[in-house]
Amino acid sequence: MKHTRYLDIFLPCSNELKEILSAELFELGFEGIWEQDEGLHAYIPVNDHKPEELNDLLIQYGLDPNGVEVTNMEDINWNEDWEKSYDPINVLDRCMIRAEFHPKVEGIEYDIVIQPKMSFGTGHHDSTRLIVELMLDMDMKNKSVIDVGCGTGVLAILAGKKGANPITAIDNNPWSYENTLENAARNGIEMKVLETDIESFAGKGYAIILSNITRNINHQHIPKYAGMIDAGGQLIMSGFFEHDFDYLNNQAIKHGFRLLNKVISEKNWIALHYEFNG
């Protein structure tokens, strides 16, 4: 197993900043984010770190660069480290998201096996679980689905297990692109996986769009989604808090979407389910 020298950079910040900071850090070349109550642990290869870019980002969001803690993590093996702490995720006793070393649980409708590669979407984050919860009761058979910001590919894989076809998964992070390809094969799901961002993507005619990203990026993408989705198509978004509802909902209504449902976690994360009326 190849080992890589990483820096663990701890950034103290509020809950309100965690999502947008995570997105910004990925743009700076960080390859993994771990949320804690007090802030974010962000991981980047030693040779890729540019302290001046990180300082500029922190100042932009009103954070003190002097509060950052940097630890050199030599020879970290991500898969080994992840396997020590990863627990399977059970969503409503209907969907199990687990690693290969976890035993299969009988009686589960949708069994998903993943091996993350520094990608978001293991199922532990509230936003992923909320979208899975909404997907469980959706009719996806023979419907075209796109997973935007696919991470590990877990949402696209669930869509495939529910009979969706064709399936497209896109992410501009190379780790996520590779990881989704591997996890799709691991679960026997056929899909098109692209390393790209939504701005560069020209696909249209989707029946279902899944978007587990951040508050601001979801807001920015809604007009694009309106041009990608069929009339009567459905959009599920998450990656933001309950207090962001009006901000996202007003943008969705403006662009022809009608709210069907919403679910909220105990930590006040929210997922929104829309129908597109054009």
Q: Which residues does residue 237 pair with via DSSP β-bridges, in sequence order?
A: 211, 272
Whether residue 88 has a cis bond before it, omega within 30° of 0: no
Task: Give me the pLDDT at residue 1, please.
Answer: 37
Query: How would you label 131-154 residue by residue, b for 16+ Cβ within 10 Å and e otherwise?
Result: bbbbbeebebeebbbbbbbbbbbb
Each residue's pLDDT, cut to its tens digit, for the chain (278 residues) gives 344 578 999 999 998 888 788 878 877 888 777 788 899 998 888 888 999 999 999 999 999 999 999 998 755 555 555 555 567 889 999 999 998 888 999 999 999 999 866 545 555 678 899 999 999 999 999 999 999 999 889 999 999 999 999 999 999 888 889 989 999 999 999 999 999 988 888 889 999 999 998 888 899 999 999 999 999 999 999 988 898 999 999 999 999 999 999 999 887 889 999 999 97
Tokens coding 34: 């771990």
Q: How far apart are CA 249 and CA 112, in angstroms?
A: 31
Task: Give me the pLDDT at residue 75, please.
Answer: 52
Tokens coding 237: 């978004």
Element (H, E) at 231: strand 229-241
Domains and CATH numbers, the chain: 4-76 (3.30.70.980), 120-276 (3.40.50.150)
Task: Give me the pLDDT at residue 120, please.
Answer: 55
- Burial of residue 213 (CB within 10 Å: 0-12, 13-18, 19+) is buried
Q: How far apart are CA 97 and CA 198, in angstroms?
A: 26
Task: Give me the pLDDT at residue 252, please.
Answer: 98
Q: How far apart are CA 188 and CA 158, in angstroms?
A: 11
